[in-house]
Each structure stands twice: as structure tokens, then as C-alpha cells.
């Protein structure tokens, strides 16, 4: 009995997990996406990085990394009109699309004691994306960083565990994390484009064009609030919370966290209204 317990402990520490497999180009996908389309990206554990490209062809390269005998990671995509979903999934189940769902493929908790079951552990599936101008991006990971560079038609980004970085963007911005920093730099905004940034554990910062107008809400529980915009107070003004107005627009500019600092600063982007190719709120 002691021998079995010792063997199980050794396996738990990694001796039975097997070698690491790393495939950088496991999945290749591309299609034509006209302006006004939305590309939805989903992975349960892994990084998402988006960069701009000339033309109208969007492309995705999927990489995967796992430890163990079986490769339990697969990629899929679904198109519904101008909405396209590209998904990385682990296990034998899962669903790609608006109701994205992943499955780790394990049966019961007893699997951890099976020394002969062919299974993968420590799985990671990442997406590297090139997106045309005029296509909106909607990127979501459960555990992993999300980085989006130079998109011009609006961004939606969300993760539970990981930082979100958005730069060189135009259009409405929505970014939510739970454990991770949210950092955004916007070059230009249309008249009705809103900014909504939120996390629980981590700082939130946004750099937006100096000409931006809107209704501002900045809030933290444990941290400081800072802005270099001249605000007309319309509510609470304290070291942890600011509610005020820039100009006359009713557009929402909301930056919130629980544990971390909040910063709303002026950028050196294009004048407001010159940059976005398509307007509208980022969709999940």
C-alpha cells in the first residue's frame, strides 16, 4: 500500500507525465472577409495575438503544446454570414461558434490514478491572427494573454487569467479580464464609439485622443485614479473614484478595477472621427 502511494506521489510530481510536444504550425486557415465582418477567436488555454494586414484576406495560424502521449488539441471554424468563429479546443468534445464550449476530455477524477491511460496534460493552444482593415475583432481566452495591434474597426477582448494589451486601435473598445492588467491605446474614435475596460486584479490604463469627449467613470477599490483630461464633476470625485464629463458627448468611457490603479491619459492619435472604418459595439 505504501509502495502504491509513493508511486502515485512520484507521478503527481511529474515523472509519469511524459515528454512535451510543441507544434508551432498545427493549424492554418484563411478566408476573405469584407469590411463590416467580425472575426471571433476562442481558446480555453493559450495566447491570442492579432496584427493588421493589407487586403481582404484574414488568416489564422494555430500552435499547440501538450505533455503526455495523446494529442488532445484540435482546431475548428464556423461561418454564419459576416460572423466567423475560429476556435482551439482540447479533448474529444467542445463546440465552436456563438455558444463556444471546450472540453478537457477526461472521464472521472479516477483518471489521475490511471498510469496506463493515454492522455495529454498541460495543454495549450494559441492563435496568431492577421486581420484586414475594416474587420472587427472579438478575442477570448480562458487562461492566456490577449494582444491586439492596429485593428481599425473595433475590438472586443476578454480573458479570465491573463493580461489584455490593445494598441494602435480605432473604433469601440471593450476589454474584460479577471486576473490581469488591461492596457489600451486608441488612435481614433468615431462620435459614438465607447470604451469599456474592466478587471478585478490588475491595473487598467487607457490612452485616448486629446479631442475625445464623453461621460467618464474611473473606479478602483485598492489603488489610485489618475487622468490628465479636464473633467467637469458629475458625481463622486475622490482618490479611488471619479465620475465626470469631458465636453458635451454622452459616449461612455469606463475604466474599473478592484485591486490596481486606473489611468485615463491623452494619446497622440489622429483627431476624433478620422480613424474607424466601421462603427458598432464589439460583439461576443
pLDDT tens digit string along 211-254?
999 999 999 999 999 999 998 887 667 778 999 999 999 999 99
How many alpha carbons fall within 13 Å on the CB side of residue 155? 35
In the prediction, which pLDDT does 238 show? 77
In the prediction, which pLDDT does 2 show? 59
DSSP class of 169: E
| pLDDT classification of 35: cutoffs 50, 70, 90 | very high
The residue whose grid cell reads 493588421 is 52
- What are the residue ranges of helices labelled H in 123-280? none
- pLDDT tens-digit readout, 100-120: 987 653 333 333 333 334 444
pLDDT at 59 over 70: yes
Q: How far apart are the first and last CA of the chain?
A: 51
The residue whose grid cell reads 471593450 is 174
In the prediction, which pLDDT does 113 show? 39
Give Cα separations from 156 to 14, 22, 46, 98, 231 (angstroms). 37, 29, 17, 14, 27
- pLDDT tens-digit readout, 255-266: 999 999 999 999
1 CB-near residues (< 8 Å, 6+ apart): none
Q: What is the mean pLDDT of residues 150-157?
A: 96
- Around Cβ 30, how many Cβ atoms within 10 Å? 11
Write down the pTM of the prediction: 0.82
Amino acid at each position: 500500500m505504501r509502495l502504491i502511494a509513493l508511486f502515485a506521489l512520484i507521478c503527481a510530481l511529474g515523472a509519469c507525465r511524459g515528454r512535451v510536444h510543441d507544434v508551432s504550425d498545427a493549424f492554418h486557415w484563411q478566408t476573405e472577409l469584407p469590411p463590416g465582418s467580425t472575426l471571433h477567436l476562442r481558446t480555453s488555454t493559450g495566447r491570442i495575438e492579432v496584427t493588421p494586414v493589407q487586403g481582404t484576406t484574414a488568416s489564422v495560424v494555430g500552435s499547440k503544446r501538450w505533455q503526455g502521449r495523446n494529442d488532445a488539441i484540435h482546431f475548428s471554424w464556423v461561418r454564419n454570414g459576416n460572423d466567423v468563429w475560429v476556435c482551439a479546443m482540447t479533448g474529444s468534445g467542445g463546440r465552436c461558434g456563438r455558444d463556444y464550449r471546450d472540453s478537457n476530455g477526461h472521464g472521472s477524477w479516477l483518471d489521475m490514478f490511471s498510469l496506463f491511460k493515454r492522455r495529454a496534460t498541460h495543454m495549450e493552444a494559441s492563435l496568431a491572427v492577421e486581420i484586414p482593415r475594416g474587420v472587427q475583432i472579438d478575442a477570448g481566452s480562458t487562461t492566456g494573454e490577449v494582444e491586439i495591434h492596429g485593428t481599425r474597426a473595433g475590438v472586443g477582448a476578454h480573458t479570465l487569467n491573463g493580461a489584455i494589451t490593445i494598441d494602435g486601435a480605432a473604433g469601440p473598445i471593450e476589454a474584460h479580464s479577471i486576473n490581469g492588467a488591461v492596457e489600451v491605446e486608441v488612435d481614433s474614435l468615431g462620435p459614438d464609439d465607447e470604451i469599456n475596460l474592466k478587471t478585478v486584479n490588475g491595473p487598467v490604463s487607457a490612452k485616448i485622443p486629446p479631442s475625445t469627449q464623453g461621460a467618464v467613470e474611473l473606479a478602483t477599490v485598492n489603488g489610485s485614479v489618475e487622468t490628465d483630461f479636464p473633467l467637469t464633476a458629475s458625481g463622486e470625485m475622490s482618490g479611488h473614484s471619479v465620475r465626470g464629463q469631458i465636453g458635451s458627448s454622452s459616449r461612455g468611457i469606463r475604466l474599473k478595477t478592484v485591486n490596481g490603479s486606473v489611468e485615463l491619459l491623452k494619446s497622440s492619435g489622429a483627431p476624433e472621427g478620422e480613424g474607424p472604418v466601421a462603427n458598432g459595439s464589439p460583439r461576443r
